[in-house]
Amino acid sequence: MGAFDLIVVGGGLVGAALAWGAQIAGANVVLLDEGDVAFRAARGNFGLVWLQGKGVGIPPYMHWSLRAGRMWPDFAERLSTAVSFDIGWRQPGGLQFCFSEAEIAKRRDIIARTQADGGDIDISILDRADLRALLPDIGDEVVGASFSSLDGHVSPLYLLRALQLAFQAAGGHYRPGFRVEHINAETGAFRASSQIGSVLGRRIVLAAGLGAAKLAPQMGLSMPVKPERGQIVVTERVKSFLPYATNCVRQSVEGTVLLGSSHEERGFDEGTDVATTAALCRTAARVFPALADATVVRSWGSLRVMTPDGLPIYEESARYPGAFAVTCHSGVTLASVHALEIGPALVQGRLPSHLSSFTSERFDVHQS
Ligand SMILES: Cc1cc2nc3c(=O)[nH]c(=O)nc-3n(C[C@H](O)[C@H](O)[C@H](O)COP(=O)(O)OP(=O)(O)OC[C@H]3O[C@@H](n4cnc5c(N)ncnc54)[C@H](O)[C@@H]3O)c2cc1C
């Protein structure tokens, strides 16, 4: 087989979104994924498309995230149509609950800073009476919330599956079990090699989550990502009570309730612990006391993909033009722009100029 137009390394949410977007933009793409042995945030996340407060104080990130939020309805529609199943996307708006007036004041500050930076998002403060009108079962300790109609949620597993299926349905080549170990620049092309073979592509993008840190230096790139553990608890299915996305409780389309998620520095440990799951349950029961009677059926730990400042990396290698790095810690939220803007941009061989502040040079550890 000749060279592909684009090799995508990593079949998690970032890689799968890029691959689908590039394939439907007309490229011949191969998506290489290590498989079930890898750390995969894509399979353990909370499923929020969360915009309120995102990127406050960092306008390029805020505007990019808001763009992603606005593109989600079109993205979800196109993806669901391509695979003919419901990916669980809903955009009912999102609520961030507050337990004190001090927390409400912080939310007001976020709204003011968002407006000061020109953020095109409506965020309002709801007092307890407003909130009770929306959610009669809300707990007595909740004094209010901030609300944004742009926030939504999705089933992360359906999203990942849909991206992989839609990519293949559009003619993309999906290679699971292909752990890339070496990447070499050959004349006008890149060769990605694993123990089971190699593929050749005119361009390559490293989107391998935590696996990208090791590969990037081979392409003169730097992706200094580290894991941050998040634990999530899931209850049995209960009757529908929560039509909104929220910062700590989410009811799936099937009726289960997700409680989450923690933020922990635990290296590559994907485990769970009782203290953390108990804390997640306690917070959820403060917000919705009736949840105290729901049976917990599962909990898990999963690793976020974090850069040193928590912002994404979008970069083309100066040493090897045609080799790109893409990573972020909100791969659900940004899936729309990754598919519909970055995927096609990779086909053109040029990242959008408004993302130029997201190179790894900001970490001052650039590989020469
Ligand atoms: C607890 C938790 C809650 C979260 N909640 C949200 C949320 O509500 N909203 C949101 O937007 N984001 C959320 N996230 C983040 C989101 O899940 C990630 O941003 C996203 O999954 C990152 O996608 P990724 O493709 O970069 O990495 P991953 O999903 O980790 O995928 C990386 C892929 O690369 C592959 N790979 C690795 N090394 C190699 C190699 N050498 N060769 C080939 N393939 C390789 C792996 O097999 C894997 O499939 C959450 C994450 C966690 C952990």
Angle of helix 59-83 relative to helix 156-169, nearest 10 degrees, comes to 70
| pLDDT for residue 1 | 60
Predicted pLDDT at 121: 97
144 Cβ inside 6 Å of ligand 1: no
Read off the amino acid at residue 260. G
Three-class HEC string of 301-362: EEEEEECCCCCCEEEECCCCCCEEEEECCCCCCCHHHHHHHHHHHHHHCCCCHHHHHHCHHH
**Taking 60 as the threshold, does the pLDDT of residue 365 lie above it?**
no
User: Is there an atom of ligand 1 within 6 Å of 11 CB?
Assistant: yes
Which residues on neighbouring strands pair with residue 90, listed in sequence order?
153
Ligand 1 neighbourhood includes 53 CB (under 6 angstroms): no
Give bridge partners of residue 352 from the DSSP assignment.
none
Residues in the chain: 368
Q: Is 266 helix (H, G, I), strand (E, B) or coil?
A: coil
How confident is the model at residue 165, as a pLDDT? 97
pLDDT band at 264 (very low <50, low <70, confident <90, very high): very high
pLDDT digits (tens, 9 = 90+) for 85-115: 999 999 999 999 999 999 999 999 999 999 9
Six-digit token string for 113: 């800073």
Provide mean pLDDT across the span 251-262. 96
CA dihedral of residues 241, 244, 245, 249 (deg, nearest 10): -30
Q: Could you tell me the CA-to-CA distances from 322 to 101, 317, 326, 345 in Å, in that order?
A: 51, 7, 13, 11
Cα distances (Å, whole numbers) of residue 296 to 43, 73, 233, 236, 272: 19, 32, 7, 6, 14
Q: Residue 116 — φ and ψ, nearest 5°?
A: -60, -35
Band of the pLDDT at 191, cuts 50, 70, 90? very high
CA of 305 to the centre of ligand 1 (A): 6
Task: Report the pLDDT value the prediction gives residue 63, as an integer from 0 to 100.
Answer: 98
HEC profile of 80-145: HHHHCCCCCCECCCEEEEECCHHHHHHHHHHHHHHHHCCCCCCEEEEEHHHHHHHCCCCCCCCCEE
- Between CA 46 and CA 271 the distance in angstroms is 16
Q: Residue 265: which H helix or E strand, with range?
A: none
Residue 343 pLDDT greater than 60, yes or no: yes
Q: Classify domain 226-306 by CATH architecture.
A: 2-Layer Sandwich (3.30)
User: Average per-residue pLDDT in the chain?
Assistant: 96
For residue 244 the two structure tokens come to: 């909104």
pLDDT score recorded for residue 367: 47
Helix (H) or strand (E) holding 182: strand 182-186
CB of 51 within 6 A of ligand 1: the answer is: no
Q: Cβ(261) to ligand 1 under 6 A? A: yes
Instruction: Give the CATH superfamily of 4-48+157-224+308-363.
Output: FAD/NAD(P)-binding domain (3.50.50.60)
The alpha carbon of 293 and the centre of ligand 1 are apart by a number of angstroms equal to 32
Residue 368 has pLDDT above 50, yes or no: no
Specify whether the CB–CB gap between 211 and 268 falls below 8 A. no
What average pLDDT does this structure show over 118-134?
97
Decide: 15 in ligand 1 pocket, CB within 6 A: yes
> Any idea where the domains of the chain sit in the sequence?
4-48+157-224+308-363, 94-148, 226-306
Decide if pLDDT at 8 tops 70: yes
One fold for 4-48+157-224+308-363 and 226-306: no
% of the chain with per-residue pLDDT over 70: 99
Residue 40, pLDDT score: 83
Closest atom, ligand 1, to C-alpha of 156: 17
Helix (H) or strand (E) holding 227: strand 226-235
| Helical pair 156-169 and 13-24, crossing angle rounded to 10 deg | 30
- Pair 359, 353: CB distance under 8 Å: no
- The answer, yes or no, to whether residue 366 has pLDDT greater than 70, is no
> Pairing relation of β-strands 29-33 and 4-9?
parallel
Secondary structure percentages of the chain, helix, strand, coil, to 5:
35, 25, 40
CA of 68 to the centre of ligand 1 (A): 17
Predicted confidence (pLDDT) per residue in 20-60, tens digit: 999 999 999 999 999 877 778 888 999 999 999 999 999 99
Residue 45 corresponds to which tokens in the numbers above?
A: 């996340």
